[in-house]
A and B are shown apart, each in its own frame.
Chain A
Amino acid sequence: MASSGNLCLSGTGVTKVFGFGRHRTLAVDHVDFAFHEGEIISIVGESGSGKTTLAKMLLGLISVTEGEIYFQGKKRDISSGRKKKEYWRNIQAIFQDPFSAYNTFHKIDAVLLDCIKLRGGGGLPKEEKVRLMTEACSFVNLKYAELTNKYPFELSGGQMQRLMIARIFLLKPKILIADEPTSMIDACSRATILDYLMKLRDETGMTLIFITHDIGLAYYVSDTVYIMEHGRFVESGSADEVILHPKQPYTRRLISDVPKIYEEWDLSTV
């Protein structure tokens, strides 16, 4: 395990309630977690189990109804716009749909320049900026010279997702939340994307949080796995422990639902 033991992001009793009265929905129900620096974490659950809501709360995109989130041991403070921006320098996300993640009217170098600005590199000379952008593109095996005058829609899904990783490479956040990063792209590009994300973790020592329903992916990448059901963590532990020796019936069912190649896939238990 690559974690150095320092707490990076943790939470106690984090709860999110949508609506009230008759429409009250408990999306995330008093979850506790502790993510360490340099660790790869997967949060696995079915659709509607509250994974994405939790991710949005971690990112500070929606408010927390109850409970506290701690960033590097201190209480997270995102009460003002400036503090929020400061927080977002440390935490970034990759979303499921790369096609809708970009501003259609911005060319690709504008996308990357924004990242340099956010890091406080707005005053750098032009050559330095180009050097940084070229470096970021070559990290994910894209050619900056070919991309510079293009718009995002001219790229394929896999290329867009790689560009997203190039963005993260420029921003160098402490935490990266990847919300279903590979569910929209095909299995062949998936291996590439995962490899880049893991390389990024090895080089920068960031904490990677995967939000996914793909247990195969969770097993492949992560050090620690959290299984989520109806807004609660039902099981957590190291990947081998949780996925090969599940204790909870919910986890067992989830794993039995994945098509496998060496074991029989039992269709009768739906």
Chain B
Amino acid sequence: MARVMLEVRDLTTKYITRYKEDVYAVDHVSLKIEEGKTLGIAGESGCGKSTLALSLMGYYFPPLHYMSGEIIIDGQNITGMKPDDVRKSILGREIAYIPQAAMNALNPTRKVIDFIGDVVRAHDPTWTKKMIYDHARSLFERLGLPAEVLQKYPVELSGGMKQRTVIAVAVTLTPKVLIADEPSSALDVTSQKMVIKMLRDLMESGFIKAMIFITHELPLLYNVADDIMVMYAGQIVESASAKQAVFDPLHPYSKGLMGSIIVPESGLRNVKLVAIPGAPPNLKNPPPGCRFAERCKYVQAECKVTSVPLYEVGYNRAYRCILSETELRRAYEHGE
């Protein structure tokens, strides 16, 4: 059994809106990542992927609030720690986060090296300028980035370079777990590949021990992740290995997601894209039953009233649907 780097048990977090309404954006999510593994999280916009990533770090600030559950990073339980302590001792060292529009995080009026200096000094004010520079230089060399970048302003860098710089800054303090939230969504294919290669190298060289990769691009996720978790309306609806999730999805929602894949491969040109009709439910008052019931092709009367638990089927595989595995497979065969 490999070492478990991140374990989350029954985590629930909510947003409190301006009008004092509760929005449960992460609802009883449990997950486990072993050393050297990459977990991919898929789902459409607004289904709680990014909120889950924020919640995992244990760093809550309004309107996001912690409700219940446990977060254990490499054996250390960080549940209930004060936000300030989390920021000083957990963020950056144990777990690091690359937000969606990360390249806009660089301050346009300061050089990249100053930015790194800020990060390092926030955790240990005793570092001198020389130490920071040497550390940054060796880090950049190790990550295959040119050291000149350190002395440049963000406007002088291309989009892909900015994104890679931000990743480098995120791993400055050698975190154990890295959360990458859509790190390549604004980049073109070539820069995207460079970013992915860099993340892969980080994993392979043991620089970071585990990674969570969030995206809605399934072909990309399939190539990056070992396991895929599909989220819908704040809940996990399916978790499986990457291969199973893409080629043999069980939940009707994951099945629908796979219908929207576009790849430039022969034979896939005239495949009709199957869009899932409708939109996710409003999480202010989620439906009592299955949250996907409104949009599901195989909906039954029971679905709308009883809430559905996550059924475990076999090793490392679970799905949230009242239909059994065989019933679902038969339905998909008839549907096509």
Bound-state CA distance A110–B269 (Å) is 39
Taking a contact as CB atoms under 8 Å apart, the answer to whether A258 and B263 are in contact is: yes
Q: Which of A27-35, A122-130, A143-151, A186-194 contacts B (4 or more CB under 8 A)?
A: A186-194
Name the CB-closest residue of A to B266.
Answer: A244
Taking a contact as CB atoms under 8 Å apart, the answer to whether A259 and B220 are in contact is: yes
Taking a contact as CB atoms under 8 Å apart, the answer to whether B216 and A270 are in contact is: no
Measured between C-beta atoms, what is the minimum distance from A81 to chain B in Å? 35
Knowing A217-B262, A267-B197, say if A259 contacts B217 (CB, 8 Å): yes
Q: Which A47-79 residues have a C-beta within 8 angstroms of B?
A: 47-48
Q: Which of B44, B187, B197 contacts A188 (CB 8 A)?
A: B44
B190 close to chain A: CB less than 8 A: yes
B69 close to chain A: CB less than 8 A: no
Taking a contact as CB atoms under 8 Å apart, the answer to whether A260 and B265 are in contact is: yes
Q: Which of A47, A157, A220 contacts B269 (CB 8 A)?
A: A220
A1 close to chain B: CB less than 8 A: no
With a 10 A CB-CB cut-off, give which of B194, B261, B274 has the most chain A CB atoms.
B261
Bound-state CA distance A190–B219 (Å) is 14
Enumerate chain A residues within 8 angstroms of B276, measured Cβ to Cβ: 188
Taking a contact as CB atoms under 8 Å apart, the answer to whether B223 and A187 are in contact is: no
Q: How many residues of B contact A (CB 8 A)?
A: 44
Taking a contact as CB atoms under 8 Å apart, the answer to whether B262 and A257 are in contact is: no
Bound-state CA distance A254–B191 (Å) is 11
Taking a contact as CB atoms under 8 Å apart, the answer to whether A260 and B159 are in contact is: no
Give the dominant DSSP class at B's interface: loop
Q: Which of A156, A253, A255 contacts B279 (CB 8 A)?
A: A156
Bound-state CA distance A220–B268 (Å) is 8
A-B contact count (CB 8 A): 119
A17 close to chain B: CB less than 8 A: no
Enumerate chain B residues within 8 angstroms of A209, measured Cβ to Cβ: none
B222 close to chain A: CB less than 8 A: yes
Enumerate chain B residues within 8 angstroms of A219, measured Cβ to Cβ: 262, 264, 268-269
A195 close to chain B: CB less than 8 A: yes
Taking a contact as CB atoms under 8 Å apart, the answer to whether A195 and B275 are in contact is: yes
B32 close to chain A: CB less than 8 A: no
B287 close to chain A: CB less than 8 A: no
Taking a contact as CB atoms under 8 Å apart, the answer to whether A186 and B259 are in contact is: no
Q: Which of A48, A188, A195, A244 contacts B216 (CB 8 A)?
A: A188
Enumerate chain A residues within 8 angstroms of B305, measured Cβ to Cβ: none
A171 close to chain B: CB less than 8 A: no
Q: Which B251-306 residues have a C-beta within 8 angstroms of A?
A: 256-257, 259-266, 268-269, 273-276, 279
Name the CB-closest residue of B to A185.
Answer: B45
Taking a contact as CB atoms under 8 Å apart, the answer to whether B189 and A254 are in contact is: yes
B333 close to chain A: CB less than 8 A: no
Q: Which A224-247 residues have a C-beta within 8 angstroms of B?
A: 239-240, 243-244
Enumerate chain B residues within 8 angstroms of A187, measured Cβ to Cβ: 44, 216-218, 257, 260-261
Bound-state CA distance A14–B14 (Å) is 55
Q: Can you list 23 A-B pairs with a CB-CB distance of less than 8 A?
A: A47-B191, A183-B186, A188-B276, A189-B45, A191-B259, A191-B274, A191-B275, A195-B275, A213-B188, A214-B262, A215-B264, A216-B219, A216-B263, A216-B264, A217-B262, A253-B190, A258-B263, A259-B196, A259-B223, A260-B264, A261-B218, A263-B265, A267-B196
Chain B residues within 8 Å of A, Cβ to Cβ = 44-46, 158-159, 185-194, 196-197, 200, 216-220, 222-224, 246, 256-257, 259-266, 268-269, 273-276, 279
The 5 closest A-B pairs by CB, nearest first: A191-B273, A216-B262, A191-B275, A213-B188, A219-B264
